[in-house]
Structure 1
Amino acid sequence: MRGEQLKETLQAYALEIGIDVFRVTTADPFLTMKQRLIDQQDKNYASGFEEPDLEKRTTPKLLLDDAVSIIAIAVAYPSKLTDAPRGKAGERRGIFGRSSWGLDYHQALNQRLQLLEKKIEELSPGAKTRSMVDTGELVDRAVAERAGIGFSGKNCSIISEEHGSYLYLGELITDLYLPPDQAVEELCGTCNKCIDACPTDALVEPGVIDAKRCISFITQTKTLIPEDFRYALGNRLYGCDTCQQVCPYNRKKHATQHAELQPDPEQVKPLLIPILSLSNREFKEKFGSLSGAWRGKKPIQRNAICALVHYQDKSALEALRVMAESDQRDDMRALALWAIGRIAGKVESGYIEARLAVDSAEDVQTEGERLLLEWGESNAV
């Protein structure tokens, strides 16, 4: 089967198996992206989650011998939570970002890519393929941009005129020739809404993000975070959608065509206080199907504590005291103590002093002393 016919056949099949956008680019190196990554590292803007080998991230032929073409796919995900439960005093709720709604997108896209690989083998026996989603070496955004799925916006998301930026991306490298598509024109123009709206000024300039300041990244870390960022989290448990919510290309974009990607409102907008006491097993049972569960329960519990401070939820004080007194993790006891101080205020100075007298963990001492110093009640020398 010739390249053009093969591409048309695969494109039609892709639509049948739930792929919304199917495009093709060459397996040539991504030289522009390589320079962007070098600049990102030089400025210390990288998150640390990325594949460290820049050559593998930008040279497809290092990942598949004789690579010729790359199929880029995109699957649209929902942007609206219908029948969302409402939080209220004593029953405050957090929120998972839209990219974590429904079935873990790694599973959803890998299932589609595996079917595409089988189809290629059926049509062209012996063909070499290698597919990846997010955790692979290649930069998904670079592949999608060059293949013409969309343009790279000022918020560093791939933006499609048809689907907006609420898109999951994946790619399939092959040794087969498929006619490549053309990149599309960048259409942000003079709009800077995403840059202006970013809660932590992580978008340092158009198309450049300091990942360490991005709330989406911060929600996935496992350590204590600076106090200013704790407030910036708001009620976010995982991810951040602000730069996409304000994007004009996302107006009225809401994908409902993929049943497995539709959110369970109680799962993605859960009550905060019960999260604090979840066991590992309970966490997996409740949140394990979400991509936002990939780092385990600790970041979600930490972010839930910050959200309770955001809401100034006094009904959480009892649960926070339990954590401050009995949690096995030093940093979580410290954060719980900080939250008690921030919610209840100086009236809890006696409780905090009592905890410092019996808990010598460095994180606990640091958080407690900082509160007492602020209130002018520290006995520290």
Structure 2
Amino acid sequence: MDTASLKKEIIAYSKTIGIDKIGFASPSTFEEMKVRLYRQQELRYQSGFEEKDIEKRTEPSLIFDKPKSIISIALAYPSKMGPKVISKKGERRGIFSRASWGTDYHTVLRDRLKKLEEYIALKMPEARFKSMVDTGELVDRAVAERAGIGWSGKNCSIITPEFGSYVYLGEMITNIPFEPDHPMEDRCGSCNKCVDVCPTGALVQGGQLNAQKCIAFVTQTKGFLAEEFREKLGNRLYGCDTCQTVCPENKGKDFHFHTEMEPNPEIAKPLLKPLLSISNREFKEKFGHVSGSWRGKKPIQRNAIIALAHYRDETAIPELITVMKDDPRPVLRGTAAWALGKIGGQDALEALQHAFSVEKDEEVLQEIRKGLYFFAEKKQG
């Protein structure tokens, strides 16, 4: 079979297995991306979660023997929840970003890529493949941009005309020489909304992200959060959607094509207080299938504590006191102390004073001091 005919058949087949968009790209070096990544490294803007070898991230020939082309796929995900749950006094809720709604997108994309591999192998038995999602070496966005899936927006997401930036990306390197598709024209123009409203200024300029300041990254760290981030976190438990929700290209975009991606409101927007005492087993059973669980429960619990402080939820004071007194993890004890100071109240003050007299960890003591300082400030004010 000639590759032009095979390409048409692959495109047709992809639609039958739930691939919303597919494109084909040359496997040549991603020169522009390589320059940008080295600059990011120089500026220390990287998250540390990505593949560290920039050469492997930008040169397909280093990770695949004699590549001839790359197939890029995109799956659209929902931007709105169906049945809604309300955050109310005494029952405050946190929120997982849309990229953590439903089944972990890595699982969903790998399923589609595997089906695509099997189909191509039937048509062309000599075909070889290497498929990956964002945990692989290649930069998904660079591949998708070259393959004409969408353009690389100022918010550092691929934006498609059909689905906005609410798409998951995956790719497959192969030894089949498909005719490449053409990149799409950038449509961001003079719009700068995402850069202007980024809560922490992580979007340094259009298309350049300081991941160390990005809330989506910060929510996944495990240590104490810097004060500047605590104030910006709001009720976010995992990820941040601000740069997507303000994008004009995303206005009115909401697609529910894949049942695996449908959010369960009680998981996507869970009650905060129960998270403080959730066991490892309970956490895995409830949240283990979503992408936001990959770092374990500790970051989620820390973020839940900060969210309770954001709400000034006085009903959470008993739970926060328990965490400050009994949790074996200094980060949670200290963050709970800080939150108690933010929320205020006589019970919180007495608990902080007692904790200060018995706590041994210096970092936790520092957070207790902050909590007590908030009381002193209120008294003076």
Shorter-chain TM band: over 0.9
Aligned-pair identity (%): 54
The offset of 1:139, in angstroms, is 0.5
Q: Which runs of 5+ in 2 are unaligned?
A: none
Tell me which residue corresponds to 1:198.
198
Query: Could you list the per-position Cα deviations for residues 31-71 of structure 1 after superposition, in whole angstroms to 9, with x for gaps in the alignment?
Result: 10000101111111111111100011001111110111000
Question: 1-side partners of 2:24 and 2:66: how far apart?
Answer: 16
Residue 134 of structure 1, CA deviation: 0.8
Structure 1: 4+ residue segments shifted above 4 A: 373-377
Q: Does 1:116 align with 2:116?
A: yes
Report the equivalent of 2:209.
209
| Corresponding residue pairs, total | 377
Which amino acid in the other structure matches residue 49 of structure 2?
F
**Cα offset, 1:197, TM superposition:** 1.3
Matching of residue 233 in structure 1 with residue 250 in structure 2: no
CA distance in 1, matches of 2:272, 2:52: 35
Question: What SS does the aligned partner of 1:161 have?
Answer: coil
Shift of 1:20: 0.4
Offset from partner CA, 1:325-381 (integer Å, 9 cap, x none): 11010111111111111111687444212102111112211111233345559xxxx
SS of residue matched to 1:37: helix
Q: Which amino acid aligns with 1:335?
A: T
| Preserved CA contact (<8 Å) 2:337 2:371 | no
Maintained 8 Å contact 1:346/1:375: no
1:279-290 pair list within 5 angstroms = 279-290=279-290
Paired amino acid for 1:360: K
TM normalised by structure 2 equals: 0.97
Shift of 1:3: 1.2
CA 1:169/1:204 → structure 2, altered by over 3 Å: closer, same or farther?
same
The answer (yes or no) to whether the contact 2:341–2:370 under 8 Å persists in 1 is: no
- 1:300 maps to a residue whose letter is I
**Counterpart position of 1:176:** 176
Query: Secondary structure of 1:39's match?
Result: helix
* Cα offsets for 1:124-165 (capped at 9, x unmatched): 102110000010010001000111100001110000111100
1:87, CA displacement in angstroms?
1.1
Unaligned runs of 5+ in 1: none
User: What is aligned with 2:144?
Assistant: 144
Q: Which residue is 2:19 aligned to? A: 19
1:186-230 residue CA offsets vs partner (Å, 9 max, x unmatched): 110111111111111111111101101111001111111111201
**Once superposed, what is the RMSD of the aligned Cα atoms?**
1.3
Q: Distance in 2 between matches of 1:335 and 1:249?
A: 38
Residue of structure 1 equivalent to 2:103? 103
The alignment's TM-score, normalised by the length of structure 1, stands at: 0.97
Distance 1:171 1:23 in 2: 9
Following the alignment from structure 1 to structure 2, what is the Cα–Cα distance between the partners of residues 11 and 62? Answer: 27
1:169 is paired with a residue whose SS is strand
Aligned to 1:81: 81
